[in-house]
Chain A
């Protein structure tokens, strides 16, 4: 070991001294190397005219041609705008409803009511988007759906929901809040429970009403955690929720104008068109946008409020 270079020596010494600890980490390290880092080679395909038979090292390099093709088409703007718009709606509705729910749940003194309400609100988190899509069908199906039946009873004409692209950003927003609000509200509730009781006590002595305590104590103290979750969401604003979109919208092309996101677009390019390079170009574009967003917003967060930054 003495004969090795200094850094190498230190490295080997560390490994051998803590060999059992590194052994424990080995499966995890191997996993990250194979399943998280190796697939990053897939980004190379964006600059190739990839053909399965030629492989990743044998395919022809074409520079930025795939990107040119992508940006010359009409789709890129549509899927980008859809992704950002839908994610913004999901973020605001998911966090907003959760803040309200958490504050209200915290105020509830009846413990049985609180537990039951919380159980119901958290339940949708536990099911997959495919199950959600079946539930959506029971509501929005044109002839059998509960909503159209109810409209008919009230004397209105039914709507062909699955043929009405304009409605879906809002339907998806409601569904998204339905599924995630419980999850977020539990995180918020944990933070609220951590607020020192002294604040409320002194406020009560000063004669503050419950509503005032909510507005001037609870809400401001929730700001850091809401900011962290909002930042995490904004950092991922270019990443569409593939599971949700593909389960509920699927291959229903009529709804693409308002619901097609970058991820579902890349998926179709890969699986339906078999165009690996095109799909990869879309994903590289997405990663770049994602990187830029997260750096910008982290810098802003660092300036405005150091506690809320991510790194």
Chain B
């Protein structure tokens, strides 16, 4: 009897927490389709009384959302591709038992996880020394090598049989060939996981654009949320034209619409990619 009661309690707690996690998504999603007048009079509701697509129409009629989408997509694709390449190659060297200095390299990599360089030096590096302000590279370069992901790959490479390597060496293959032609193909599961981590990081990042992008036209999607939330001249920002006083701007609706447009792709692919993240976390928790 007590056992059963406890079981019910367990299911109740899990359901409640799952619901608690889901509700904010629901509110944002459903209210982005709410009529602006309803939002302004009745506020955000679990089920709004009147629906309209006005917020989306307004948002998509302007140029800015497409520009921001473009920036986000470019940064995510280029950043992920470069990041995975740099990380996978670097991690391979760290994991290779032939490399004499691999422990020094590992230590120097680990050290950066403990001691960040700090905001000021980082800001000066990008803004004053590399002159990358208002450049899309400022949004890509700083995240190319994440030590944590590198160590996930190191612990994965270590599980591969070293005989592969020896056999290829006997056959006269050099290390570049071995890495790209043998190691990379059999590491695809781990590399896919790491690339998803990178893609998520680039898609969700707004810290770099907060620091380094002053040209509002170049802001990625995430920062567009911030711009719309801070209630500047929304009309001019979204459509790039002067304020027209005869048009009612769906301010509330648009804030929600831009959020949905931003997280839409993630939520859409989430059911398919979730297991890769779980695998990555499981790999990472095996202490390396």
A residues with a Cβ closer than 8 A to B are 14, 18, 20-25, 27-29, 31-32, 34-43, 45, 52, 56, 97, 100-101, 104-105, 107-108, 113, 116-117, 119-124, 126-135, 137-139, 141, 143-146, 148-149, 178, 181-183, 186-187, 190-191, 209-211, 225, 228, 235, 239, 242-243, 246-247, 250, 263, 266-267, 270-271, 276, 279-280, 283-284, 286-287, 290-291, 294, 311
Contacts and interface: CB of A to CB of B under 8 A. Distances in A.
A25 B3 contact: no
24 contacts: A24-B175, A27-B85, A27-B89, A35-B122, A120-B18, A120-B21, A122-B274, A124-B21, A126-B267, A127-B204, A128-B262, A138-B31, A138-B256, A143-B43, A145-B44, A146-B45, A187-B281, A190-B281, A209-B3, A210-B7, A211-B2, A211-B3, A228-B287, A235-B114
Interface stretch (B49-57, B123-131, B185-193): B123-131
B267 to A, nearest CB: 8
A131 B108 CA distance: 35
B249 to A, nearest CB: 16
Contacts, number: 276
A29 B14 contact: no
Contacts of B285: 187, 190-191, 225
Which of B19, B89, B93, B266 has the largest number of chain A CB atoms within 10 A? B93
Nearest to A182: B21
A25 B118 contact: no
Interface string B97-118: 0111100010011101011111
B229 A137 contact: yes
A211 B24 contact: no
A137 to B, nearest CB: 7
A41 B255 CA distance: 40
A247 B142 CA distance: 20
Interface string B68-86: 0000000000000000011
A57 to B, nearest CB: 12
Contact of B14 (A105, A145, A280): A105
Contact of B24 (A139, A183, A250): A139
Given A20-B175, A134-B229, A32 B22 contact: no
Contact of A108 (B10, B90, B174, B267): B10
Nearest to A278: B120
A122 B100 CA distance: 40
B60 interface: no
A119 B176 contact: no
Contacts of A31: 86, 144-145
A169 B177 CA distance: 54
Contact of A123 (B25, B31, B93, B112): B25
B6 interface: yes
B72 to A, nearest CB: 11
Contacts of B100: 14, 18
Interface string B34-45: 000001101111
Interface in B1-23: 2-3, 6-7, 10-11, 13-15, 17-22
A120 B229 contact: no
Contact of A126 (B14, B108, B200, B282): B200
A210 B7 CA distance: 9
Contacts of A97: 17
A42 B117 contact: yes
Contacts of A283: 118-120
